Structure 1
């Protein structure tokens, strides 16, 4: 097969000059034709035999290189702009590896879940998910010892705390009924992973299945948490949580209280043997953090025995004022601890601590010195009940935890909390419903914070888009560097929608550098 190419040669002059074509003496254009052979690969013949074809010449090795300017030095690297774009693309691809549950975004690199990473200063931050069942405290701060030695002494002790039976008797008795229409209820005792006396439960059902305490569910969930976290690796399969869960479900299907009690007794025997031979203590000593499921189980037990019976009192507040009650949920709090890198050697303060849920969680999950201040009477009353139950309940679980300190009073007036503010490493302010006047007062108080202290809030103390300039260099916000994150449904108790939360780190070096630069001018 042959291909033809034609070359058109025109006389000198502009092709738009019409006079040369109308002039009879002008030379006409001449067309020269040239024939060149070109080899074309043929398709295989139908009989399966193909004719040989000429091999395609190898492409030059530099055919994709851009031409260099004269005098330019040869370079084997990408241009800086292209290289930066490539690195950004790879970084974004890495961020898409997901872990379950809650999404967050920030302007820092990787983190936890929970905690998220992204460009905190941009309007469209990237999103990342927080781990669902493991606390993030393992990687931050000094190594933490979880073993409470007093809980594993030679002599068995009886811990003075509110038992499950206390939550279903006395004034609360009318809220419960016997299971499966039985004429009377049974009681059972549950062993915890420590050398302590067992907790007594009444096997009853709440009449209000939605809100009230469920003792039988408390038992089965506690058994699961203990098996998943405390059992040694050599434990046989029939000691695992899956086996006990199967037997509990079978007891429910058969509507048999006797079968339910048998499962609990078998669990007690199994766990007691591991406590006596030291396996539980040795296994706990290898741990450096608690799973979020275990944290939630312990906090739920405390809440059910102290706050739940009187939860109606928390609804007595005035809308539109600073005294509006709302809770941050445990998974969201775990993400806050991770993002701020709170560790056991530091001090945590919750301003507007309510019933003290976050204060207790910080002491349990992180093991730090944990403080809270609240001025509404009803949440303060319930918070004190939780604080009293906390050390006893964690003793049952054999855990060494941080101290819990709850204060009644106004943060703008209380002298004791001012001293704590000067030592605090992380300050949490649930200021979603605070008035602008209170937020301004808090900003003035935060000037007493030490450098590097992190302030976590749901409304920004540094206005978004704020930039240091000669006009606002006296603004208190210039003492802080702020990051913006996102929370989603399931993070706070008062909304099912998404929102933003902020970490403002006290860093006066930026302002000091600016002032120095202005003086040098």
Structure 2
């Protein structure tokens, strides 16, 4: 669950708008070079807050997700309720690059390793290199007759009804235009309104959502030659969208969407997309993030202000691990689609959803605070439907409401768990002690990932502490780097402990040789 805030680039409202071009909609094979470009103002050189649902303007003009972070208060971790914002680039560019830390490097070295705290990012999921038994990515039911009856929250629902007052027409037209976008499945098309937020701080921008979604479908679902054709800098969809936007050419914008829809439908009808998905057994992290962002934008973002309440000096002050760091944890622990993943203190459920989508495993989360629980329930409903839109099979998700130190359901789940995540950065010592005692019921080999250690770093087994539960945990310390957590730009340490009696048995054997019990 990551909550970010950044100031978007404002569109220059003083610039003279060109008149709307009225013409008959037709398929255009190639458009000439576009010379006009919408100027922007007010974009910070480096936003201090992170965002999951934005296009971030980069010096070369390309746009990609780039997280940053913000420290909320001294000795406090950022609350889950910090609103996330979106930057508006002058031109929406397609780019395969991404700044920051590599998913194959972030958090992967032990604490005594001499390595840089800044790494180069990769868009490939960390899980690819360590996946276990082959996972099924294709959701066959998404390509059967009847899939068109799928129910989900449309992008248009986030800009109409109770939210309509927040949006305006981006062009000079009096009426709003609605478009429908085809996803890589037989599911119904998603409706979008071509609107722009009145307040530049509003974080959902449907027109950016459309363009980013098209980019990901091209990158991850099209055959390579066709993808290369439609990414062409002169004739591709990106160039034509920018051309229509700059000229305020509404028919031109609509015609690009309709041409894209026709291409996707043909690939579904002839089985190309189904065959491509059937040959895969992992998902690219960029695609995972796109689906999670869409789910979040339609369920959590409209009510994100309700998450601001937190109380210093309690267990209810916390921050979040960001998706790339979470993906690295999946890799390190060897999580696969046959595993059971548990997030203790799961907030709105983002990490549990990521495990079910990226890895395909059975995923559990439990949260006590009422507002995050309410939104987690909405995400749990939207998530499988949105994955089905993308034609993807995902693991079962269970998001519970309750106190994980007292809920009897969790005790039973922990007995079956393979990986347990505890973001205990701000937990009180008493809470960590209760959790440590709960780990007695973990099965052998189960791994616990935490921000604070459950076994003291320099702990040695002695006759005095022989019965302590910490002696059953074989623990290693690792380092994470910048932009991996929501509450700081800096790196830190985290711990992976495995339920393992080897060291305890070795000590007991040594004591027996010495004639001690």
For normalisation by structure 2, the TM-score amounts to 0.76
Residue 290 of structure 1 and its aligned partner are, at CA, apart by: 0.9
CA distances 1:51-83 after superposition (whole Å, capped 9, x unpaired)? xxxxxxxxxxxxxxxxxxxxxxxxxxxxxxxxx
Structure 2 CA distance for aligned equivalents of residues 406 and 156 of structure 1: 26
Structure 2 CA distance for aligned equivalents of residues 358 and 381 of structure 1: 16
Residue 113 of structure 1 and its aligned partner are, at CA, apart by: 4.1
Alignment of 1:84-483 (within 5 A): 101-102=100-101, 112-114=104-106, 116-117=108-109, 119-120=110-111, 122=112, 129=119, 131-139=121-129, 140-235=131-226, 237-240=228-231, 243-483=236-476
Structure 2 CA distance for aligned equivalents of residues 127 and 289 of structure 1: 28
Residue 102 of structure 1 and its aligned partner are, at CA, apart by: 2.0
Question: Does the CA contact (< 8 Å) of 1:482 and 1:504 recur in 2?
Answer: yes
Structure 2 CA distance for aligned equivalents of residues 316 and 345 of structure 1: 37
Residue 208 of structure 1 and its aligned partner are, at CA, apart by: 2.9
Give the RMSD, CA atoms, in angstroms. Answer: 2.0
CA distances 1:412-439 after superposition (whole Å, capped 9, x unpaired)? 1111111110000000001111000000
Residue 250 of structure 1 and its aligned partner are, at CA, apart by: 1.8
Structure 2 CA distance for aligned equivalents of residues 241 and 308 of structure 1: 34
CA distances 1:202-243 after superposition (whole Å, capped 9, x unpaired)? 111112334420100000000000000111235274334761
Which structure has more RCO (C-alpha within 8 Å, separation ≥ 6)? Answer: 2
Residue 471 of structure 1 and its aligned partner are, at CA, apart by: 3.9
- Equivalences, count: 414
Higher Cα radius of gyration:
1
Residue 265 of structure 1 and its aligned partner are, at CA, apart by: 0.8
Residue 469 of structure 1 and its aligned partner are, at CA, apart by: 3.1
Residue 440 of structure 1 and its aligned partner are, at CA, apart by: 0.4
**Kindly tell me: are residues 283 and 515 of structure 1, through their superposed partners in 2, closer, same or farther at Cα, counting changes over 3 Å?**
same
User: What's 1:499 paired with?
Assistant: 492
Three-state SS of the structure 1 residue aligned to 2:171 is helix
**Kindly tell me: are residues 153 and 255 of structure 1, through their superposed partners in 2, closer, same or farther at Cα, counting changes over 3 Å?**
same
**Kindly tell me: are residues 127 and 509 of structure 1, through their superposed partners in 2, closer, same or farther at Cα, counting changes over 3 Å?**
farther
Question: Does the CA contact (< 8 Å) of 2:365 and 2:400 recur in 1?
Answer: yes
**Kindly tell me: are residues 420 and 236 of structure 1, through their superposed partners in 2, closer, same or farther at Cα, counting changes over 3 Å?**
closer
Three-state SS of the structure 2 residue aligned to 1:235 is helix
Structure 2 CA distance for aligned equivalents of residues 296 and 443 of structure 1: 32
Greater Cα offset, 227-236 or 378-387: 227-236
Structure 2 CA distance for aligned equivalents of residues 311 and 156 of structure 1: 31
**Kindly tell me: are residues 129 and 281 of structure 1, through their superposed partners in 2, closer, same or farther at Cα, counting changes over 3 Å?**
same
CA distances 1:176-207 after superposition (whole Å, capped 9, x unpaired)? 11103432220000000001110000111112
Three-state SS of the structure 2 residue aligned to 1:456 is strand
Residue 175 of structure 1 and its aligned partner are, at CA, apart by: 1.4
CA distances 1:437-495 after superposition (whole Å, capped 9, x unpaired)? 00000000011101111101111111222222344333321111111122223212222
Question: Does the CA contact (< 8 Å) of 1:164 and 1:200 recur in 2?
Answer: yes
| Structure 1: stretches of 5+ with no match in the other structure | 1-98, 105-111
